[in-house]
Amino acid sequence: MDTIRFSPELLRAERAANPEFTRPRQPGPSTRSVHGGRRPNPYNAVADPIVQTATYTFKDTADLRDFMEARMWGGGQGRTEYGRYGNPTVAAVEARLAALEGAGDAIAFASGMAAITTVLLAMLSSGSHLVITDDCYRRTRQFCQTFLKRLGIGCTVVPMGDYPALEAAIRPETRLIVSESPTNPYLRVLDLERLVEIARRHRIKTLVDATFATPLNQRPLEWGVDLVVHSATKYLAGHNDLLAGVLAGEAGLMASFRDALGVMGSVIDPHNAALLLRGLKTLGLRVDRQNQSAQAAAEFLASHPVVEQVWYPGLPDHPDHAVAVRQMNGFGGVVSFTVRGDLQSTARFVDALQIPQLATSLGGTESLVSQPALMSHYDLGPAEREALGVRDNLVRLALGIEDIEDLIADLEQALTFV
């Protein structure tokens, strides 16, 4: 057998003869999850090292002065003097997250709520106004309607999917539109194109919480959204073992939020940043599995006689199915549904499940189940829950990476207890 040898000359000839061969290939989402934003480290380590330090030294006064002068003029980004302003491990995960979102920059926070509250406080001042859709995360709405009100910042809540109402809520002092896609718990999908058209016509910035979608299923920045936020605790980290948040957007816009983080101090710990980096490497595998499992679970539940209604964007009867098909690559790993029964019979179903664990959160390797009326909205009375659309017989199922055949069999046996 003839020996095959690599020939640089032959490779160059093939490239010259085939223009498609020379076109650089854009890496796919899983490749970006593993390698996006990769930067060299002094140890030649495959995994980004954990740099555990609170402060940084300078060689001498001249070195310090050079750094301070560079920072005054917008430079000096390669290093810092104190842990609240930067960390190499944190910088590594921020570069990876920016690559995943296709953003100019990304900032990691101690939690998803820290990311949201920081950007709102940095963007809005007394006398200004924002519009938020009603199916957003409850704590986000609470912050906008309660805490921002104390600062003299107005907030109008509009129904999710009602774009005429959204535009009608805009005032001369409106600075920001906040929404979520898909939403919690009914998985409503925001028409990003329509949102951006309204916002740009009124010269207003947009912020979308895309936690449920992940950058693999939906990339709001590519549709013209200004800022995207994630609770990285969920899918991005993927193992239910850390708290983190991320904000991503155009580099020039992000600079003010990085300054605000230095003032407010909700920085992520380097250990959590390293865990987040590790989790991101399997993001593509996990999300693909969760997309498939959730679709199968939703179809099973929709066909079951004890189930009243199923909310999942991958089902044709979901109110935003057409929008989801147009702008999403996958429909996510969460399925919400109501069973034929009351608060107690629904609780019996939840307790009968053997694989999903009764817990809040989502996006991890373990399947989790919750009954919102007895968990996230337990502090509200029945009338208040009903006003928010949280029914006593509502269940939210967050699929993990277990075998879907086992999960469906478990759902089937538990539904006999309703």
What's phi and psi for 315, nearest 5 deg? -90, 135
Which residue among the candidates 234, 258, 289, 396 is catalytic per the annotation? 234
Which residue among the candidates 71, 79, 84, 281 is catalytic per the annotation? 84
- In the annotation, is 234 catalytic? yes
- In the annotation, is 137 catalytic? yes
Distance CA 96, CA 400 (A): 23
Q: Nearest CA to 52 among 325, 360, 343, 268?
A: 268
Which stretch of DSSP H or E encloses residue 156? strand 154-158
User: Sign of dihedral through CA atoms 291, 296, 299, 300?
Assistant: negative
Q: Residue 343 in contact with residue 366, Cβ under 8 Å?
A: no
Distance CA 359, CA 352 (A): 14
Which residue among the candidates 209, 226, 320, 392 is catalytic per the annotation? 209
Q: How many CA atoms lie within 13 A of 157 on its CB side?
A: 13
Which residue among the candidates 48, 96, 105, 137 is catalytic per the annotation? 137
- In the annotation, is 281 catalytic? no
Strand-strand pairing, 174-180 and 129-133: parallel
- In the annotation, is 209 catalytic? yes
Distance CA 352, CA 414 (A): 5
Edge-to-edge strands, sheet with 334-339: 307-311, 334-339, 394-398, 368-370, 357-358
Q: Residue 400 in contact with residue 366, Cβ under 8 Å?
A: yes
User: Which of the residues are catalytic?
Assistant: 84, 137, 209, 234
